[in-house]
Amino acid sequence: MRVLVTGGAGFIGSAVARVLLEERHDVTVLDNLSKGFRSIVPEGARFIEGDLCDEERLPGWLRGHDAVIHMAAFIEVGRSVQEPLLFAENNIMNSVRLLEGMRKAEVPKIVFSSSATVYGAPQSLPIRETDPLGAQSNPYGASKVATEAFCATYHALHGMDAIILRYFNPYGPNELHEPETHAIPNFIMAALARRPIPLYWKGEQVRDFIYVDDLARAHTAVLGLRGLDYFNVGSDTGTKMIDAVRTILDIVGYDVPVEDLGERPGDVHATYAWSRKLAEATGWRAQIGLREGLERTIAWFRERRQ
Ligand SMILES: NC(=O)c1ccc[n+]([C@@H]2O[C@H](COP(=O)([O-])OP(=O)(O)OC[C@H]3O[C@@H](n4cnc5c(N)ncnc54)[C@H](O)[C@@H]3O)[C@@H](O)[C@H]2O)c1
């Protein structure tokens, strides 16, 4: 298929572009490089340096593609609280501009990067796609709920195929966010620098870590699906943060102290996914366990430090 990846110069988008190429799809990456890096766009992908806000050019960039994988967004939860308008503009309005561009250019399918955050504080675990969406405690989460709704509207109004992927906690090589607000890269960078590891809630929070290559394969797995559908993408396993820290220290082979950051208001205590719906629809399964994924990620961070 001819697939355009928005945000394909970012952490997850660059992995999606690579897997698409490995599976012999034709790939265009559209990214404004506000947060991404040209150097991690895989060779073999066509690259357009452009912004989703460019309503005039969008249809031309999109024409001729069979599907869009829409990953371009701002992702920092804390900044979204400080700058809600910026997040509404880039994550919601620019997604609607993209959908309009797709309608004009007759691109029939969107795969959208949503998040476990749409469930809010879960009422039961593991979280299933049929669970209700929760109240959103920050504009980033609200932007994911709103964009899911617009994708559903374009399906209802224009028959666009819309596949919503709700990621749990991705990690892996090329996670280069600035600032980095995610736990795993911060744990690894601290461990490699022999600095104390920053930890909230004494590490008792439970998360569902999904290795970036497994997550990337979920996007190619759903390309053949039609209609409107929603899928969790996780590993079906809940891991305490403190256990992730222990595994990292075991892999690096020495101890560093933990820096107790106390409790962080607004944090959900535990989330992990039921991802069997995706497995049943496509045959996709997470293949890389946490230890192997951390070994690969630590190897990448080590190489980067040299
Ligand atoms: N990383 C996670 O833990 C996580 C979890 C759940 C969902 N997601 C979603 O996955 C997607 C990718 O996340 P990521 O971690 O790879 O983020 P990232 O910041 O590494 O990548 C996002 C990319 O989008 C580009 N971009 C942003 N606004 C743009 C615009 N207006 N026009 C063109 N390009 C633009 C940035 O330059 C960047 O390359 C996002 O939609 C994010 O909300 C991420």
- Using one digit for the tens of pLDDT, what is the confidence trace for 134-146? 999 999 999 999 9
Residue 42: predicted pLDDT: 98
C-alpha 69/C-alpha 55 separation (Å) is 18
* pLDDT of 132 higher than 90: yes
Our answer on whether the CB atom of 73 is closer than 6 Å to any ligand 1 atom is: yes
**Which of 54, 55, 71, 89 has the most ligand 1 atoms within 8 A of CB, as the residue to mutate?**
71
* pLDDT of 266 higher than 90: no
pLDDT band of 156, cuts 50, 70, 90 = very high
Q: What is the mean pLDDT of residues 59-76?
A: 98
Q: Whose CA is nearest to atom 15 of ligand 1?
A: 11
Ligand 1 centre from 256 Cα, in Å?
31
Identify the weakest region by mean pLDDT among 159-163, 264-268, 297-301.
264-268
> Which CATH architecture is the domain 2-171+210-235+278-287 placed in?
3-Layer(aba) Sandwich (3.40)
* pLDDT of 267 higher than 90: no
Single out the residue of 242, 175, 250, 178 nearest to residue 210, CA to CA.
175
Residue 252: predicted pLDDT: 97
Active site residue 140: yes
pTM: 0.97
* pLDDT of 180 higher than 90: no
* Residues 6 or more apart whose Cβ sits within 8 Å of residue 12: 71, 113, 167, 170, 212, 215, 216
pLDDT band of 225, cuts 50, 70, 90 = very high
C-beta atoms surrounding 79 within 10 Å: 17
Domains of the chain, residue spans: 2-171+210-235+278-287
pLDDT band of 158, cuts 50, 70, 90 = very high
Our answer on whether the CB atom of 31 is closer than 6 Å to any ligand 1 atom is: yes
**Which of 4, 34, 144 has the most ligand 1 atoms within 8 A of CB, as the residue to mutate?**
34
C-alpha 40/C-alpha 111 separation (Å) is 21
Number of H helices, E strands in the chain: 11, 13
pLDDT band of 176, cuts 50, 70, 90 = confident
Three-class secondary structure of residue 226 per DSSP: coil
C-alpha 23/C-alpha 20 separation (Å) is 5
Q: What is the mean pLDDT of residues 169-191?
A: 94
Residue 305: predicted pLDDT: 84
Tell me the H-state helices in 23-93: 58-62, 77-82, 84-87
Q: What is the mean pLDDT of residues 149-169?
A: 98
Our answer on whether the CB atom of 17 is closer than 6 Å to any ligand 1 atom is: no
How are beta strands 26-31 and 228-233 bridged, if at all? unpaired
Does residue 71 contact residue 10 with C-beta atoms inside 8 Å?
yes
Ligand 1 centre from 150 Cα, in Å?
18
pLDDT by residue (tens digit) across 26-43? 999 999 999 999 999 999
How are beta strands 161-167 and 109-115 bridged, if at all? parallel
Host H or E run for residue 232: strand 228-233
Residue 244: predicted pLDDT: 98
* Residues 6 or more apart whose Cβ sits within 8 Å of residue 28: 2, 3, 4, 5, 45, 46, 47, 48, 61, 65
pLDDT by residue (tens digit) across 201-221? 999 999 999 999 999 999 999
Our answer on whether the CB atom of 232 is closer than 6 Å to any ligand 1 atom is: no
**Pair of tokens at residue 123:** 């009422």
Does residue 180 contact residue 189 with C-beta atoms inside 8 Å?
yes
Residue 306: predicted pLDDT: 80
Q: What is the mean pLDDT of residues 114-143?
A: 95
Our answer on whether the CB atom of 167 is closer than 6 Å to any ligand 1 atom is: yes
Residue 15: predicted pLDDT: 98
